[in-house]
A = this chain, B = another copy of it.
Amino acid sequence: MKQQEVFRALADPTRRAILKRLQKGSLSAGEIGAMFDMTGATLSHHFTVLKRADLVRNERRGRNIVYSLNTSVMEDLTRLVLDLVPATRGRGEGK
């Protein structure tokens, strides 16, 4: 996992909002675009950042491109953050 890319991706509120939407299921670029007040080009840039962090996957379906969460990296992220919190309870407590 590219830790730096993941944290950087998370630093933008639009990208976090995109991730939250994708929790509920995959969406096409257009559907996501309809939720934000910015151009498709800008959204496309955000997708690129999210993909670079491997937080989302995309797949062409017909004339749409459908984005979905990469849940395994999301879990890596969870671990990462838990690792940042001292004396973390609820999990391993490992080295």
Q: Chain A: residues with CB nearer than 8 A to chain B? A: 4, 7-8, 10-11, 13, 16, 19-20, 23, 69, 71, 74-75, 77-78, 81-82, 84-88, 90-91
Q: A19-B84, A74-B84, A74-B86 are in contact. Are A11 and B8 (CB under 8 A)?
A: yes
When chains A and B are docked, how far (Å) is the Cα of A25 from the Cα of B12? Answer: 30
Kindly report which residue of chain B lies nearest to residue A84, judged by CB atoms: B19
Q: Copies per complex?
A: 2
Chain B min CB distance to A5 (Å): 10
* Bound: A39/B68 CA distance, A: 42
Residues in B with CB closer than 8 Å to A91 are: 90
Among B4, B69, B81, contact of A81 (Cβ-Cβ < 8 Å): B81
Pick from B69, B82, B84, B86: contact of A86, CB under 8 Å: B69
A85 touches B74 (CB 8 A): yes
Q: Are B78 and A16 in contact (CB under 8 A)?
A: no
